[in-house]
Amino acid sequence: MPSTRRAFLVRAGATAAVLPMGLAACSAGTRGASGATPPLVFGKTDGGTTFVHNFNVFGPALEKTPNAEMIYESLARIDYSDGAKVKPWLAKSLTFDTSGTTLTVVLREDVTFSDGKPMTADDVVFSLEIPLRDPIFNIAGTTYDRVAKVNDTTVTVHWPTPAFSQVSQLASIAAPIVPKHIWAAQDLKSWTNPNPVGTGLYTFERFTSQQVTLAARSDYWGGRTAVQQLKIIPTSSDALEEQLLRGEVDWALLAWPNAQQAYVAPDPKHHIYQKYATGGAFSLFFNTAQEPFDNEHVRRALAMTVPRTQIVTTLGRPGTEAGPTGLVDQIYEKEILPQYRGKVQQVDGAGALRELALSGFTVQGGRLVKDGRSFAPKLSYDTDYGWDPYANMMIRSWQKLLGISVTPVGAPGANLYEQQQVGAFDLTISTTGGAGLAGVYSALSSSAYVPIGQKAVTNLGRWKDAATDAAIVKLESTNDPTVIQEAADTLETIVAEQVPYSPIYESYWFVLINADNWTGWPTPEKFSYVPYLGLGPDSTLTLLNMKRAS
Amino acid sequence: MAAATLAAAAAARPAGTHRRWGLLGRRLGFYLAAAWSAITLNFFLPRLMPGDASGAIIAKLQSVSGQQMTPSQLEAIQKIFGDPNSNLFAQYADYLKQLAHLDLGISISSYPTPVSDLLWQGLPWTLLLVGVTTVVAFLLGTGIGALAGWKAGSRFDTIVSPLTIFTSAIPYFWTALLALWLFGFRLGWFPLSGGSDANIPSGFSPSFVLSVLRYGALPAATIVFSALGGWLLGMRNMTVTTVREDYVLLAQAKGLSGHRVLLRYAARNAILPNFTGFALALGHVVGGALLTEVVFNYPGIGYLLYSSVQQRDYPVMQGVFLIITLTVLLANLLADSVYILLDPRIKEGA
């Protein structure tokens, strides 16, 4: 008996020791046979370690099969290379009537679904009506109230109020066009659409929980692609960096602070790291519904002493300090008033002290004091994003230049978001931005205002200002470029001077590419589409223009 | 001598067996009560947390769309995901009814995928990786620990024991990242990410099994490396104390061979605390290995639980917790039962 037990232990030990070595011997390349067209492998870092099989693009799930936008397309796209304007995609044209409530959509006639059937006005009406039939499917947050078929290639969409700036709703990947002949028979609440049929460049080939394989169509309306197979795999940011270096992943979206040194430098021709402005920014929000941040001088004093340059340098993104208007120069260069264009907000201690004096508040023992009331502000930020060092930089700057002691309060993303929604904060960090000028500024509308204690969706800072409201109404209810520019001028000035929030640094889409197998990627210097899988039409354009590396 | 022992055992059997069955029966009753309270807590705890499932969905949808939801939208969502204001005890009754039908409900974040599907997607990976590594680490650690403790102070002991203290002080994620970088990236011996080659269809084909082994080897090695130390040190220290016991001295005085004394006399007694720990560790196997899963991007239950907590996906949380509690209870029951058989000193009333 003892001898067998010992033998077992010895055997177990030997197996454990030998196993890794023996297995190492049979580890070969994972790229498949050379010579054949390689697939393009996309490494997805934000989808967990496994995928679920659910292509019901209208369903209310938070987790679905990733990148269904390569299969299902929308009527329009947002062109981030051209002022974030909404442009037709499956539509040939999108035209508003003069009142801005009825949009006439003329459809392309060459679009077919991957089962060979043509896309018709019936499919479009069916798809656009899905969110109207049951609001649970309105994950795109569309606000139109009526859709009608005019003829086989024309559809009208009606909004209850002027909606010139709302047309971006039709560019949402959550509002795609689906085939009526398949979807009409399904219960959309419980259907997982295992074999999706759409108008997109790719069709579904195979699902495993660790890989989604898509195959290119030969009859896509927009042309053919050399990338015959697109594989999407889940990965972690640690593994991704090594997978890119080894060429196991061709394309990924991740901010990699020392990528220049660690990734690009070893092979600058094939290792590419790019960033494209999203048009948004990370901003400091004031709770303007409560003292002392209802005082614009206090807000200005704090905004003037945010060490933006120090923050972006530490982030490894020099030169990405956000301007004062909430609009990003790369996208809205023409729309930004000359005095704010390209402006870097430097730390201005003296100016901030003057503002503080004007506010009527004094600083006593680190607290803001006025009329016997004193305030010890807190800065709430997201610990999921590792924001601690930047919050501390701001707090140190305020302490040093103004003498105000701000307490850092870090919270995980989900908790922070709830605090922001109910207004349980003094100062916080959140993103600003949106599709187009109206998208950026509509969050300041008092129509999105809710009192502290109730859940706000936008307007987290509880901004309420008649001049702002008037300008937003003007912006949303016209198509006239002069009027739009006037309204934008007003709003830019309000944000820059009254500081409902203060932009800190611009937000970007970060793109990592290994061009060993595939070339033809756009560059941030010269692009008409962003190589970002997730922006449906933009990734389709990227893939259509891809060439096999020689 | 063996025949005499057998005869004595046979004589003692009726009374002894009866007592053992009585003890097992009472234990069983205790475990049933524990399982019921676990299920009940499992139901009420998530509901005592701030926020609710519908609220989580609504918040997510609103943040995606940037639009305020209308009352009709809220009502539609609550119809699917449950109204937080409905009667808690009615919900509890429904929950028990569901469980009785082995129905764990439907995931909220992956709606409409049933929780059991998600569990089945991760459970085999977790059982394989964590189960195998737990057993291997226990066997290796206990074996080496017994040897080190048997000859405490020998060269083997003076090298192995301090080294183990050092390795078990290394944080797991660091070991994993270093292993990934060294063996995965620099040396290229192992794949960098995933549970198997995704290009090979899953099934019991030899190529798939080989690929699972190849992908699992490095994560498994890191887990064994990290877990080994605890077993080893525990076993070593227990062996050091048992070898000084009189009965070991007696065995040695009788002239029994060294390994016989070690295995039948010293180790058999020294292993008892480690065995308890092993039973508990087995119970926790189904909880997954979150850090391993994150670093190696390995499929499993750990990440499922983590993401369900993040997204307040209560049905999935409940499902995972239920499996964990039931397995821990089962492992404890097994340990208790094996203990009664293993250690003659444990007897009711003795």
Per DSSP (E only), the strands in A424-532 are 427-432, 501-514, 518-519
Residue of B nearest to A28 (CA): B189
Residue A45 to chain B, least CA–CA distance (Å)? 10
Share of chain A above pLDDT 90, in %: 57
In whole angstroms, what is the distance from residue B149 CA to residue A68 CA? 59
Classify strands A271-286 and A251-252 as parallel, antiparallel or unpaired.
unpaired
Tell whether A362 and A240 lie within a shared domain. no
ipTM over 0.95 threshold: no
CB atoms near residue A393 (< 10 Å): 16
Q: CATH number for B123-300: choose from 3.90.550.10, 3.40.50.300, 1.20.120.80, 1.10.3720.10.
A: 1.10.3720.10
- List pLDDT tens digits, range A444-460: 988 878 888 887 777 88
Q: Is residue A165 part of a domain?
A: no
Tell whether A252 and A213 lie within a shared domain. yes
CB atoms near residue A14 (< 10 Å): 10
Q: Which residues are paired to A231 by β-bridges?
A: A41, A213
Taking Cα atoms as reference points, which of A234, A228, A227 lies closest to residue A252? A234
CB spacing of B185 vs A174 below 8 angstroms = no
Structure tokens at A412: 């995980």
Least CB–CB distance from B64: residue in A59, A139, A143: A139
Task: Give the total residue count for chain B.
Answer: 350
DSSP track, A223-273: ---S--EEEEEE--HHHHHHHHHTTS-SEE----TTHIIIIITT-TTTEEE
- List pLDDT tens digits, range A390-401: 999 999 999 999
Residues of A in contact with B259 (CB under 8 A): 2, 6
pLDDT, residue A228, reads 94
Tell whether A339 and A409 lie within a shared domain. yes
What is the total count of domains within chain A? Answer: 2
Structure tokens at A319: 């030169």
CB of A100 within 8 Å of a chain B CB? The answer is: no
In whole angstroms, what is the distance from residue A229 CA to residue A231 CA? 6
Domain that holds residue A246: 40-46+202-274+510-526+540-548
Taking Cα atoms as reference points, which of B328, B249, B180 lies closest to residue A241? B180
Half-sphere exposure (Cβ direction) of A320: Cα atoms closer than 13 Å: 22
Tell whether A316 and A366 lie within a shared domain. yes
Residues of B in contact with A174 (CB under 8 A): 64-65
Query: 3-state DSSP call for residue A107?
Result: strand
pLDDT, residue A73, reads 95
Tell whether A447 and A418 lie within a shared domain. yes
Side chain identity, residue B76: A
Residue B4, C-beta contacts closer than 8 angstroms, at least 6 positions apart: none
Interface test with A, best of B111, B178, B189 (most A CBs within 10 A): B111
User: Please, are residues B285 and B126 in contact by the beta-carbon 8 Å criterion?
Assistant: yes
Which of A:397-426 have CB within 8 Å of B?
A: 412, 414, 417-418, 421
Q: Is residue A448 part of a domain?
A: yes
CATH of the domain at A227: 3.40.190.10
Q: What are the sequence ranges of the domains in chain B?
A: 38-103, 123-300
Tell whether A307 and A263 lie within a shared domain. no
Report the first-to-last Cα separation within chain A, whole angstroms: 65
Residue A295, C-beta contacts closer than 8 angstroms, at least 6 positions apart: A359, A360, A361
CB atoms near residue A122 (< 10 Å): 15
Tell whether A432 and A341 lie within a shared domain. yes
Structure tokens at B241: 């104390």
Tell whether A341 and A482 lie within a shared domain. yes
DSSP track, B63-81: HHH--PPPHHHHHHHHHHH
Q: Which residue's entry shows tokens 């304007």? A: A85
Element (H, E) at A125: helix A121-133
User: Please, are residues A173 and A199 in contact by the beta-carbon 8 Å criterion?
Assistant: no
CB spacing of A457 vs B66 below 8 angstroms = yes
Classify strands A378-382 and A407-411 as parallel, antiparallel or unpaired.
parallel
CB spacing of B66 vs A209 below 8 angstroms = no
Whether the upstream peptide bond of residue A196 has omega within 30° of 0, thus cis, is no
CB spacing of B191 vs A20 below 8 angstroms = no
* A and B: number of Cβ contacts within 8 A: 195
CB atoms near residue B201 (< 10 Å): 10
Q: Which residues are paired to B290 by β-bridges?
A: none
Q: What is the pLDDT along chain B (350 residues), one digit of tens a residue?
A: 444 444 444 444 555 566 667 777 787 888 889 888 888 888 888 777 666 666 666 666 655 555 556 666 666 667 666 666 667 788 888 888 888 888 888 888 787 788 888 888 888 888 889 989 999 999 999 999 988 988 888 888 889 888 998 888 888 888 888 998 899 888 888 888 888 887 777 778 888 888 889 999 999 999 999 889 889 999 999 888 888 888 888 888 888 888 888 887 888 788 888 888 888 888 778 777 888 888 888 888 888 888 887 777 888 888 888 888 888 888 888 877 777 766 656 654 44
CB spacing of A243 vs B311 below 8 angstroms = no
Taking Cα atoms as reference points, which of B52, B316, B57, B105 lies closest to residue A137? B57
Angle at A498 between CA A374 and CA A377, to 5 degrees: 25
Report the first-to-last Cα separation within chain B, whole angstroms: 25
Question: What are residue B170's phi and psi, to 5 degrees?
Answer: -75, 130
Question: What are residue B330's phi and psi, to 5 degrees?
Answer: -65, -45
For chain A, which ranges sit under pLDDT 50? 1-34
DSSP track, A30-95: SS--SSSPPPEEEEESSS-SS------TTS--S---TTGGGTS--SEEEETTTTTEEEESSEEEEE
Q: Is residue A389 part of a domain?
A: yes
Residue of B nearest to A208 (CA): B198
Sign of the dihedral through C-alpha B20, B21, B26, B32: positive
Q: Is residue A210 part of a domain?
A: yes
In whole angstroms, what is the distance from residue A503 CA to residue B349 CA? 74
CB spacing of A2 vs B263 below 8 angstroms = yes
Q: Is residue A14 part of a domain?
A: no
Residue A50 to chain B, least CA–CA distance (Å)? 6
Tell whether A345 and A363 lie within a shared domain. yes
Q: If 0-12 CB within 10 Å is exposed, 13-18 middle and 19+ buried, where does residue A182 land? A: middle
Q: Is residue A99 part of a domain?
A: no
Task: Give the total residue count for chain A.
Answer: 550
In whole angstroms, what is the distance from residue A71 CA to residue A78 CA? 18
Q: Is residue A325 part of a domain?
A: yes
Is this model's pTM higher than 0.90 or not? no
Taking Cα atoms as reference points, which of A291, A190, A447 lies closest to residue B112? A190
Tell whether A358 and A465 lie within a shared domain. yes
Least CB–CB distance from A209: residue in B77, B213, B299: B299
Residues of B in contact with A9 (CB under 8 A): 139, 143
Residue B334 to chain A, least CA–CA distance (Å)? 21
The 8-class DSSP code of residue B108 comes to S
C-alpha pair distances (Å), A371 with each of A297, A342, A461, A509 = 16, 40, 24, 47
Question: What are residue A238's phi and psi, to 5 degrees?
Answer: -65, -50
Tell whether A259 and A312 lie within a shared domain. no
Tell whether A291 and A364 lie within a shared domain. yes
CB atoms near residue A359 (< 10 Å): 18
**Angle, helices A349-359/A296-304, rounded to nearest 10 degrees:** 170
Q: Is residue A299 part of a domain?
A: yes
Q: Which residues are paired to A109 by β-bridges?
A: none
Residue of B nearest to A63 (CA): B110
User: Please, are residues A340 and A323 in contact by the beta-carbon 8 Å criterion?
Assistant: yes
